[in-house]
Structure 1
Amino acid sequence: MLAKEFSRIDQFRKQLVQDSSVSSLVAALVSTMVGYAGPLLIIFQAAKLAGLTDEQLSSWIWAISLGSGITTLGLSAWYRVPVITAWSTPGAVLLVSSWSQYAYSDAIGAFIVSALLITLLGVTGLFSRVMDKIPGSITAAMLAGVLLKFGFDVFLSLQALPVLVIPMILTYLATKRLLPRYAVIATLLVGIGGAIIMNRLDLSSVQMTMVTPVWTTPSFSLDALIGLAIPLCIVTMTAQNATGIGVLRSYGYKTPASPLITATGFTSLILAPFGAHGINLAAITAAICTSEESHKNPDKRYVAGMAAGILYLLYGLGGATIASFFGAFPKELILVIGGLALFSSISASLTQAMDTQHKESALLTFLVTASGITIAGIGSAFWGLIAGVCAHYIFTASFQRQKGVAKASQGTP
């Protein structure tokens, strides 16, 4: 039995080496860069407002990095699919606006309850059953709406720092034409070189410190459960997990949703006492690893997922060090490389959304999601999904009614 397991592991190792490529590793690097460069600023802001110590902040970053690394690496290897997880960015935004109202231990208790609710939604299969009823064109339209802002950011950055951005765009276009698999890495190298020449790479702020996890015994208050736990669960499931499943579905991956939700929810539950506010399926960064920028063959893109998981684990060891490292890059460089890496995802999502009989529903989903509206503290991805699903069932019911009337009239003597 043991020999059989070792044989399977050896076969997987050989397959992994065979399937590995430079483009997959670059996709993982860009994905994690984008994941850390922006959202960690929100983490810092929330920590400052909540009055966290440097040790607590470092532990928080370690916990979400560890959770993201374990789930990304493990799920990608198990399903042979680029399952990218991350921490809840909408959840961090929620903490910025409301965390200061609660004691730190009460917030930890709220994180635990939120993770428990998400785990139950995964175990019971309720979330999976709901997602299976949503047409693929609508989830593709939702993804396109979410990603659209990142495409815009490329050209907004062009206005802000043209000397850096124009060479990056030209490099991307030229390399995309000649060596498409290396377009992103070539663009990244040109961007870093440009930042160095322009003296815009500030490494003086990088601090090399190792993390020491800090355990906080949770406490539970009704106010924190109502004000933090329930909203955190809602925004994580709607703005992150629903979109994350949409990313996988839009690229043809039929990975069951329930085990993914269960795994991320349970991991969040274990790491909550160390500060993790929530681990969930990624959307934006996942689109980088699931697209053809990662690999032409969809069956080999799991390598990017595993590489991203390993990078998460390495980043987590440094705690706040990694945040200061990514903070050394010009903001425009991060925005441009992230946006360009998502061009193919935006194109593919729009094509899938509009190449269907459900164009009106998909268009409504896209417009609502791209609008960026927030209602009751819940972001536009959720409301775009709701709008598209409602429109879909209205059109479907109308069509069925017309079909029924036509059949009835044909049967009338």
Structure 2
Amino acid sequence: MAPSERGARYAPDVRADRRAAVVAGLVTAAVGFTSSFAVVLAGLDAVGATPAQAASGLLILCVTQGLGTLLLALRYRVPVTLAWSTPGAALLATTGAVEGGWPAAVGAFLIVGILVIATAAIRQLADLVRAIPTSIAQAMLAGVLVPLCLAPVTATADRPLLLAPVVLTWLLLAAVAPRWASPAALVVALVLAVVAGDERSGALWPQLTWTTPTFSLGAVIGLAVPLYLVTMAAQNVPGAAVLSSFGYRPPWRSAMVVTGVGTVAGAPAGGHAINLAAISAALSASPEAGPDPSRRWIAAVTTGASYLVIAPMAALLTAIVVAAPSGLVAAAAGLALLTTLAGSLRSALSADERVEPAIATFLVAASGISVFGVGAAFWALVTGVVVHLALRPRGH
């Protein structure tokens, strides 16, 4: 039964439905932004962005995902929300500098957007992505996340008194209000950063910084390909599945075009990738957004508008992060990724097949190796596919 048909079963209370949807949309934007913006900044910094370029990247990501969400929600009247690629940002953070530096990284972002557009147009490309076993893709993501999720451990060991309030905030809220645990921990970290940080401020006003893309083989193979695959496997496919689980038909092809065009448009300003929301998608599509499924698209519209309102804060937040004591914000970001790491490990090891390919993929991704200037994420995928093919039963 379609959401619009099911909506007829509910007594009409338009005002209450709208209020619930608006609140859900505000929560979606607040949780989506505060829980992972530090990961985005860490990723952009790792591949060579200056603080101004990282702030520009965060700003353009908010704008493109906000506009894309508004476009899709208003066009299809479904609670489809977009987000930046948090797993993709984690990949950037662990990949580090690529051949050609920051301009080549921007070129890689541009290629990711083109590949996403091509996925909507070329069925064979989508089939090729789906041919990679889910366990291998999730194992690669888990390996990428490990170094980031270790940050709370190492930072707390180095500076226990500074990190204790962040960790305790996360732990207490994880027990009583899990949705707000990571955002609250990050807010505490930002407050401590303001109190204990140095006086480096940088620009506090929002501005876009243009970078002319360049292209290098190392950046294409070592960054663009893994970023495209992790964005598809860890964001777009699960995001569509979340919408389907609540009875909606995801506008898959249109969403790929919108997110691909948004990624291409945002790349020169430093945006790495936008995609269907996966982690926060349920907040706007679930009954929490109102009892009438046919009106939950209002939650997505609210989310999109909220991102446009939040966007001007990018420069200020970047300045706070830059001035923060070493390891403080990274620890809060690592706590925010623990749930994603747990989900990736669960998916990697619960498949009805041999676990050796997933384990091999995970170990290579977590190793942080670089061979021929190409980072660990790419070699992890190669290793996982080779081991999978070698151990596949004969006749398959």
* TM-score normalised by L of structure 2: 0.69
Partner of 2:343: 348
Rounded to whole Å, the distance in 2 between the matches of 1:101 and 1:27 is: 28
**Alignment-mate amino acid for residue 365 of structure 2:** T
Structure 2: distance between partners of 1:295 and 1:336? 28
Residues 1:84 and 2:97 aligned together: no
- 2:125 and 2:254 mapped to 1: Cα distance? 10
The answer on 1:150 being equivalent to 2:148 is yes
Going from structure 1 to structure 2, the CA distance change for 1:116 and 1:212 (only over 3 Å counts) comes to closer
The answer (yes or no) to whether the contact 1:365–1:384 under 8 Å persists in 2 is: yes
Pairing 1:98–2:130 present: no
Aligned to 2:170, the other structure's residue is in SS state helix
Equivalent residue in structure 2 for 1:172, among 156, 163, 170:
170
Stretch moving more, 170-179 or 144-153: 170-179
Letter of the 1:392 partner, please give it.
H
Quote the Cα distance in structure 2 between the aligned partners of 1:241 and 1:257.
Answer: 16
Give the distance between the partners of 2:299 and 2:34, measured in 1 at CA.
Answer: 9
* Higher alpha-carbon deviation: 27-36 or 141-150: 27-36
Residues of 1 paired with 2:227 and 2:287: CA distance?
22
What is the CA distance between 1:46 and its match in structure 2? 4.8
Q: Which moved more, 1:297-306 or 1:168-177?
A: 297-306
Pair 1:327-2:322 in alignment: yes
Once the two structures are aligned, what percentage of the paired residues are identical?
Answer: 26
> What is the one-letter code of the residue matched to 2:156?
L
In the TM superposition, 1:156-235 aligns within 5 A as 156-195=154-193, 199-202=195-198, 205=201, 207-211=203-207, 227-228=215-216, 232-235=219-222
Q: Which residue of 1 aligns with 2:247?
A: none
State the structure with more CA Rg.
1
Across the two proteins, how many residue pairs are aligned to each other?
A: 363
Change in 2 beyond 3 A, CA 1:177/1:58: closer
> Match for 2:22 among 6, 11, 17?
17
Distance 2:57 2:166 in 1: 34
Distance 2:341 2:92 in 1: 24
Closer, same or farther: CA 338–112 of 1 in aligned 2, 3 Å: closer
Q: Which amino acid aligns with 2:232?
A: I
Alignment gaps of 5+ in structure 1: 5-9, 49-53, 402-413
- Shift, 1:295, TM fit: 9.2
1:314-333 CA distances to partner (integer Å, 9 max, x unpaired)? 46546755532432433423
Q: Distance in 2 between matches of 1:287 and 1:369?
A: 22
In the alignment, what sits opposite 1:125? Answer: 123
**138 and 117 in structure 1: CA distance in 2 versus 1, 3 angstrom threshold:** closer
Structure 1 CA distance for aligned equivalents of residues 346 and 339 of structure 2: 10
Counterpart check, 1:265 vs 2:252? no
Question: Aligned equivalents of 1:263 and 1:203: distance in 2?
Answer: 40
The equivalent residue for 2:273 is: 280
- Asked if structure 1 preserves the Cα contact closer than 8 Å seen for 2:152 and 2:335, the reply is yes
Amino acid at match of 1:41: D
Query: Is contact 1:114–1:233 with CA below 8 Å preserved after alignment?
Result: no
Q: 1:322 to 1:308 in 2, by over 3 A?
A: farther
Look up the SS of the partner of 1:397 in the other structure: coil
* CA displacement 1:321-361 (0-9 Å, x = unmatched): 55324324334232122111222222222122222332122
Shift of residue 33 of structure 1?
A: 3.3
Q: Give the match for residue 233 of structure 2.
A: 246
Instruction: Please state whether the residue corresponding to 1:84 is helix, strand or coil.
Output: strand
Does the CA-based 8 Å contact 2:149-2:334 persist in structure 1? yes
Paired residues of 2:26 and 2:306 also in contact (CA < 8 A): no
CA contact (8 A) 2:66 2:305 kept: yes
Which residue of structure 2 lines up, in the alignment, with residue 41 of structure 1?
45
- Structure 2 residues not aligned, in runs of 5+: 5-13, 245-249, 290-295
RMSD of Structure 2 on Structure 1 (CA):
4.7
